[in-house]
Every structure is written in structure tokens, then in C-alpha cells.
A and B are shown apart, each in its own frame.
Chain A
């Protein structure tokens, strides 16, 4: 259904969005590229000079970079694993008939509404604090030594906090998908003699694949840029134990005022994200075709 009139109109109407997004993508990025080749410190305005690839060299050869890269991948991977396995399990459970489904569902969704700064602060102080936190109280009750989560297992703790925020999302998507599973298909399989396990493997899992892809795509977008949780809980520490790339770039440019170095880091982050993106888009593109 398209005439020349409507095609012209369509081009006209899609262009504001395209132009805005293009500018949004290209202008700051071009500036970042430019800065990344400068020696540029906010504390010494007017002293900018061209340094070639020095900023990149320093950023990449800094041991903090490798740490941050590994931490970023662990954070994304860890949260994905928890939310997908947890989400499938939870969705299967909530799909069963039981009393008070509506209320339980509301409780399960709730963490999604909690802003990152709040969830991070609450977990840090009320639960993981080694003196007054809930976990410390529980440990003491059973006669154990309280564990200082954020000091001794900072990254794992942050993964836990972020996973808590994202579990509702994956659960809901997977639950919606489960509910659209054709019941007759399940009954047919049962008549064919498939056990519960077989039905799960051969019918449920393939049916969920598309939704899982969506979960991975959307969560990865957000998880690659986890920032507030780290800022509020550990400030990336101790050392670089919980620094991810966004936090490293932030620290470099706005805490150390090293705009050049920060920009180089930013460009590296963009390149890494693009590698992930290409990989993801391939996967998604294939799965979303239908």
C-alpha cells in the first residue's frame, strides 16, 4: 500500500527522528574522537595540544583497563545468567495456578520500579553493611562472623544488586511468552507420550527462545552501561575490583579531569560495545525475522 504521495510523506515524517538520532550519535562522538587525540586537562584550560595516540596508549596499557574490561564482561554475563535462569524458573512457577497470583506478580515486578541509586543504597546499607545490615544480623544470630560483602566480594555484590533489579523484567517477558504457548500443542505432546521433562525441552524451550533473545538484547544494552550502582556502593573499589568501563571513563575524565584520556576510554568503550552490538544484532536479526 503505497503511492508516491504516501512515500514522500513517509520520508518526510521519519526524517526528524533520523536526523536527531544521527546528530545525537555523530556530533558528541566526533568530539570525543577529537578530544581523544589531545592532551586536555580540565584543570589546565588553554593548554590543549595534539598528542596522537598517546591517550589510547596510556589508557590501554593502564592495568585498570584490563580489570575494567573483565569486570564489565563479568557483570553483564553474571547478571544475564542469573536473570535468565532465574527468570525461566520463576516464570514456570508463576504460570501455575495458585492463590493470590495477582499480588505475587505485583511483588515480583516491584524491583523494576526502583531507581538504581535507591536499590544500590538500600542493599549497601540495610543488607550488606557488616555491622547493622540484615545479613550481618542474620549471621550473628547463627553465630557466624558477619561478612563484609562490598569490601571482600564487591563485584559479586554488585552483580547481585543489578540482578535483583532486572529479574522482574526477564520473568515478566518469559511469563508472557509462556502464556502464549499453545495448550493444545502441549496436550498433543502428552498424548504422544512425552514426559514433563521432554515437553519442557522440546516445546517450552524452543518457544521461549525468541523471548530470551529479546531479554538478552535489551538487558545487554542497559547492563553495558551500569554506572549508578557502582558510584553509590563501591566507587569502583577496593582498588579496581568493581570498576567497569563506564566507571573507569567517568573516573578518568571527571575525577582526574583528564579529558583526553577519558575520551580515549570512551572511544574504546564505543568500539567494544559495537563488537557486542554486531554480535547481538546478528543473533536478534535472525530471531526477530518472523
Chain B
């Protein structure tokens, strides 16, 4: 079980309010990702759930039980930290067994559970090493191992992949997703990387300045961003925003169009010149300066041999334009 409810939770440090009143419900078994730029309060929110920080007001309930004033040890949650926070003076075996030892389980049961977790995570042959002798990916697995042996109500991940290199990050991402499929335990995952959010989450919570901007499934957020912030944050490369006459023509303050929703066609409405062309092989990213509109990023699939200075004509795909009002909210 792992259903978590936050009701009007706030957090301030002195005079600085980090999280204004916030309500959120996380269902049992869900993979929820908190995403937002650094300093948006996502880690603080996670630490409030963990019990590593006190809420300034509001209530946190875990599985319907009031948990606001419980110390972290009593909440039945497990956490994987950004730095992994492994105990450097203990072997991998002892690291993983530590929560079991704290729970007062017998040594036999401890050994049994450690072996089982090690098997799942491919750590069996490293059990007697110290964390210092492991690679980044292996440390990450130990940290996860330490979390799963507790059989927690929910897992909390605090930017767990940010210390890994790019290729390892992709494979760890998949491992964590698979782990979620197997365990079916609630997971709350904090990241600033929208790709991680899009690929892993059942539900994404986009945060800015401690405020929830939008909650929804990855594709909901992609298709129907509630405001400029979410529209700009989700999707890569970033959505193009057009203001001025072009937007006014469409009856809005800001007009948004994703790079992948612009086609290079003969006789399109927007005429421009290529400023920069990035050829990735599978895709080509163009930065096009369009007169009266500004710089637009365009994603063209395949190898399109365009170069700096080439004239192009662009057309947005019909029905893929986003319109935002003066307050930044999406217009229906």
C-alpha cells in the first residue's frame, strides 16, 4: 500500500515561503514524477513527504494515516538520494542490511533478504566490497537495494541519476521503470530533466516556485499544456513562442508551436533563412529566422541538407497551434 495525500501543505524557511499551500494525492502503485527547474521546491516537497523537514502547516497522510508529525523512521518510506548516501564504512552487504538491522530482524532473515535483493539488482558478486570500490551505476543499485529490502509503502527518489553519465542514465532509467513494473509500489521521483519525467512517469507534477503548475500523464501534458510554463518545460526541443502581430492574428497573446509541428514546405506562410542547422542523422534541427515572427526552431526528420543562409518556407501543422492568453494560461 502506498497512497499519499498532501492537504494544504506549506513550507517556509524564516520569511521565505518555499511552498505555498499545496494539495496533492498520489495513488497506490503510481509512478509520480516531480519535475521543475532547480529551486522550484520539488526536493523540499519530497523531503516533507520523507519527514526530513517539518511542514510549516497542512497535513500529510500515508495510507490514510496521519503522518505529519511522524519522524522519518516511522513513515515506512524508503529514499534514494542524489549522492546515493551509502555508508562508506560498511560493505555492500551491510549497507543493504542496515535498514533490516535497524528494524531488529534476525540475522538469518537479514541475510535472506539481502541475497534476494542482490539477485534482483545483479549485485551478488559485489556484496563484500565497500561502496568506494564500486562504479557509479553499481552504487546506484546498492542505494536502490537498500531501499527495496525495507518493502516500503513508497519509494522516494531525489534526482538519483544526475551523477551518472549519459548512457548509464538511460539504462538506469529503464531499470528503475522495470523495477516499478515488478514491485508495483508507489514511487515518487524528483528530477529537473523532463525526458526522465516523460519516459518514466504515470503522472507528472510540474512545479514552479513551489506551486503546482499542472498534474497529468506525460501525454496529457504534452498535448494540453495548461500554461506557458508547462508548454515550455515539457518537450524537447522547446516549444516556439510567437508574440506580436502573428499571435494577435490568432486571437491570443502568445502563440506556441512545437518544433516537430512545423514542416518545411513550398509556399508556406512563413518565409525565413536558416541560421543554424544541426544534423543529428535521424533528425535535423534548424534555427530559422522568420521575418515578422522571429527565430523558430524546426525539427525535420531525416537528413535534410540545409545550410546556414539557405532560404526556407515553413508551415505549422494544422491543429497543432497552442494559444495562450495574457495571463499565460492556455486558451481553449
Instruction: Establish whether A and B are touching in the complex (CB under 8 Å).
Output: yes
Residues of A in contact with B (beta carbons under 8 Å apart): 1-5
With contacts A1-B52, A3-B53 known, what are 9 further pairs, Cβ within 8 A? A1-B47, A1-B53, A2-B53, A3-B51, A3-B52, A3-B54, A3-B71, A4-B54, A5-B71
A5–B53 Cα distance when bound, in Å, is 10
Chain A residues near B47 (CB-CB < 8 A):
1
Distance in angstroms from B72 CB to nearest chain A CB is 8
Distance in angstroms from A106 CB to nearest chain B CB is 29
Chain A residues near B52 (CB-CB < 8 A):
1, 3
Distance in angstroms from A127 CB to nearest chain B CB is 48
Distance in angstroms from A7 CB to nearest chain B CB is 9
- Chain B interface mostly: loop
- Chain B interface size band reads under 10
Distance in angstroms from A262 CB to nearest chain B CB is 50
A5–B54 Cα distance when bound, in Å, is 9
- Chain A interface mostly: loop
Chain A residues near B54 (CB-CB < 8 A):
3-4
A3–B52 Cα distance when bound, in Å, is 6
A1–B51 Cα distance when bound, in Å, is 10
Q: B55 — nearest CB in chain A belongs to which residue?
A: A3
* 8 A Cβ contacts from B18-57 to A: 47, 51-54
* 8 A Cβ contacts from B64-96 to A: 71
A4–B71 Cα distance when bound, in Å, is 9
A5–B47 Cα distance when bound, in Å, is 14
Distance in angstroms from A272 CB to nearest chain B CB is 40
A4–B53 Cα distance when bound, in Å, is 8
Chain B residues near A3 (CB-CB < 8 A):
51-54, 71
A2–B71 Cα distance when bound, in Å, is 11
Chain B residues near A5 (CB-CB < 8 A):
71
What 4 A-B pairs have minimum CB-CB distances, sorted nearest first? A3-B54, A5-B71, A4-B54, A1-B52
Chain A residues near B71 (CB-CB < 8 A):
3, 5
A144–B47 Cα distance when bound, in Å, is 79
A5–B73 Cα distance when bound, in Å, is 12
Selected A-B contacts with CB under 8 Å, 11 pairs: A1-B47, A1-B52, A1-B53, A2-B53, A3-B51, A3-B52, A3-B53, A3-B54, A3-B71, A4-B54, A5-B71
A1–B53 Cα distance when bound, in Å, is 6
A5–B71 Cα distance when bound, in Å, is 7
